[in-house]
Homo-oligomer: A and B are copies of this chain.
Amino acid sequence: MTRQRRALLDAVQREDRHPTADEVHRAVRRRLPRISLGTVYRNLELLVEQGLLRKLDLGGGQRRFDAKPGPHYHVRCTRCGRVEDVRMRPLPAVERAAARATGYEVTEHHLEFVGRCGECRNAVRSARD
């Protein structure tokens, strides 16, 4: 566990905004100005393999990283792109239902919401008035 790797894990844990690799890079650069993007990708991937992080593949091109353990769901704002956790109880029964309906052996499910966050709704409202 090198200095860089520790700093990367720390940066993702500190943010609860589900940063992209690039955002992590910018954040860590404040402490380690010479860290490269390649190192960021390599180590985030490694931390995912070790189960310390999760990689999210919601729409919008970039993958995002999440340090929160356990299953939970996400919302993405279509206007500002931010991703937040949804505090609702996971639905374990849906995997069984899907397995029954498809014949697959279902191992995960992802539930993602899309909409507009409070801040962006306000921004639109005040621009209109």
Residues of B within 8 A of A115 (CB): 99, 104-108
Q: Does A6 contact B (CB under 8 A)?
A: no
Q: Does A59 contact B (CB under 8 A)?
A: yes
Verify A88–B99 contact, CB threshold 8 A.
no
The size of the chain A interface, using a CB distance under 8 A, is: 37
Binary interface encoding of chain A residues 87-117 relative to chain B, with 1 for a CB under 8 A from any of its CBs, else 0:
1100100110111011111111111111111
Verify B121–A105 contact, CB threshold 8 A.
yes
Verify B107–A114 contact, CB threshold 8 A.
yes
CA distance A73 to B95 in the complex (A): 12
Which of B59, B84, B106, B121 contacts A114 (CB under 8 A)?
B106
